[in-house]
Amino acid sequence: MAKKQAPAAAAGPDASPGGKSKLKLIIIMVLALLLAVGASVGATWFLMKKDGADTPERDEVASTAPAVRPEAVYEVLAPAFVVNFNHKGRQRYIQVSIALMSRDQVALDALKEQMPLLRNRLVMLLSSQDFAALMTPVGKEMLRQQVTAGVQELAQKETGKLAVEQVLFTNFVLQ
């Protein structure tokens, strides 16, 4: 009896009739999965290639458009803005150094002629802020966006051009 059990154990798990069919099933499933992935990649590549071939105008537009944006030009508004405001009965101060970013030097030079009006608008905007909101990064970013919108509105109204792309805070102190 011991001799009959030993050869069956030495043959291993693949020797059973069910073991070979499971291995074949796993191999077939892996091959089917690889075939499906390959078909998906091939179909995606084919459709992407087809869309690009149908629109030659896209290549013409891309070749006629300038490939490089003009360099940014910065104008620092000096001196820095120092504004006081009341917060819960206590006097608070904010100091902000501002730089204007533009890609059109001519429009920026035209805006420089309106500098007293621009500085007045910025002082009024800064003095109307809430101290608690300005202590958070979100509050500072919202203020930067408000200042950018105000400067762009003034530039559009006075010069007829959108002279400023962004307003940047180069120094921001709350006390």
**pLDDT digit string (tens) for 117-138?**
999 999 999 988 888 888 889 9
Q: Which range is least confidently modeled, 14-18, 83-87, 121-125, 161-165? A: 14-18
Q: Please state the rounded mean pLDDT for residues 83-105.
A: 88
Q: Please state the rounded mean pLDDT for residues 14-36.
A: 78
At 52, is the pLDDT very low, low, confident or very high (cuts 50, 70, 90)?
Answer: low
Residue 51: its pLDDT value, please?
55
Q: Please state the rounded mean pLDDT for residues 7-16.
A: 50
Cβ-based burial of 126 (10 A; exposed 0-12, middle 13-18, buried ≥19): buried
The domains of the chain are located at 18-64, 73-174
Q: Is the pTM of this model over 0.85?
A: no
Tokens of 125: 């905007």
Quickly name the fold that domain 73-174 has: Tetrahydropterin Synthase; Chain A (3.30.479)
Higher pLDDT, 46 or 158: 158
**Given CA atoms 148, 165, 151, 96 in this order, what sign does their dihedral have?**
positive
103 CB neighbour count, 10 Å cutoff: 14
How far is CA 129 from each of CA 18, 169, 173, rounded to the nearest angstrom?
78, 15, 14
Q: Which range is least confidently modeled, 65-74, 123-132, 158-167? A: 65-74
Whether residue 98 contacts residue 167, with contact meaning beta carbons closer than 8 Å, is answered with yes
What is the average pLDDT score of the chain?
80
Predicted confidence (pLDDT) at residue 9 exceeds the cutoff of 60: no
Predicted confidence (pLDDT) at residue 12 exceeds the cutoff of 90: no
Higher pLDDT, 161 or 148: 148
Whether residue 147 contacts residue 122, with contact meaning beta carbons closer than 8 Å, is answered with yes
Predicted confidence (pLDDT) at residue 110 exceeds the cutoff of 80: yes
Predicted confidence (pLDDT) at residue 58 exceeds the cutoff of 60: no
